[in-house]
Structure 1
Amino acid sequence: MKTKTLINLLLLLPVFMFTACGQNKKNTVTIKKTSDNKISKPGNPYYSNTDTTKLKLSDAEWKKVLPEDVYLVMRHAETERAFTGKYWNTEDKGTYYCASCGNLLFRSTAKFSSSCGWPSFFEQENKKSVTYKNDYSYNMERIEVLCGRCGGHLGHLFDDGPPPTGKRYCMNSIALDFIPDSK
């Protein structure tokens, strides 16, 4: 990491730790799983773990179907406070999906403890799970990670992860839905 970027990150750490959108709110939207392993969210007709059609919705449409805290993170690239998200420290086995559209993103077998305060993964589920965009916000150079189906903001990608990829997908918990493996 460049020295200037590291210094900027350290200067912004208090901002990330003490400001965020809706951090005390809980995402209370229920995820339903049917016997044929399809998942859906009541009130969000675009949520599906089986449909891979790219979504091109207006900001107003997303605002109608997403809880406010999810909307702010996923549609306006807000960030949840470190160590506050529901998945940052979980070791449960299962699958992570996009909280906006239900796209399959990560498996728990790719999750690792990075101690950064957000859930971290060393690889995405498949090449189409996520897309990338250069992000120069906060006077830093980062790679933004977006849902491959709906384009929602998930987090950022860094080159300080474990083998075999050396990558760290640093994700917002609120941008993820988790379905545990069946016992």
Structure 2
Amino acid sequence: MKALLIVDVQNDFCPGGALEVPNGDEVVPVINHLSQTFETVIQTQDWHPRGHSSFASSHNGKEPFETIEMPYGEQTLWPDHCVQGTKGADFHPDLDTEKTQLIIRKGFRTEIDSYSAFYENDDETTTGLAGYLRERNIDTLYAVGLATDFCVKWSVLDGLKEDFNVFVIEDAIRGIDIEGSVEQAWNEMEEAGAKRITSSELL
């Protein structure tokens, strides 16, 4: 059984948003088309409380995209984004969410960031997604969404770690690309066993 995993297609990650992924909104029509062909559709939603520890504004003298050490390791600092209950945290208005059966909210614990659909950034605290998929006899995931080099990458790597087959649909993702991070993300995903395909191969 297969499922479509739509990662963080939210206003703040699209053009005009607080943490804009270049051309992030271009994935929306592709994902809408794909979702019609899947029985199971799952979404993730970045869902930060105000003053989240990953926000640069929570650390005196720090700027977005600097890194700091947290108890769980290195943390990139971000502009305030996807704050709970704000328009920026909403899904893109053109994204068809009708077929979505599960929404995994992440990043809602103030002291820890969360990129992956499976784990918080401490690599220990689970979201429960792996158990949900196994209960549904789903063994194959098709990953789409934002951003290639952060939440998509970590979701893919953790999905593989949890022994799911993972395909990444390259025309349905976009990246932030900090100093070559998109190319590095692709290398990491493919080395870990992810398969790279296009939407036209599925449709």
Higher helix share: 2
TM-score normalized with structure 2 length: 0.25
TM-score normalized with structure 1 length: 0.27
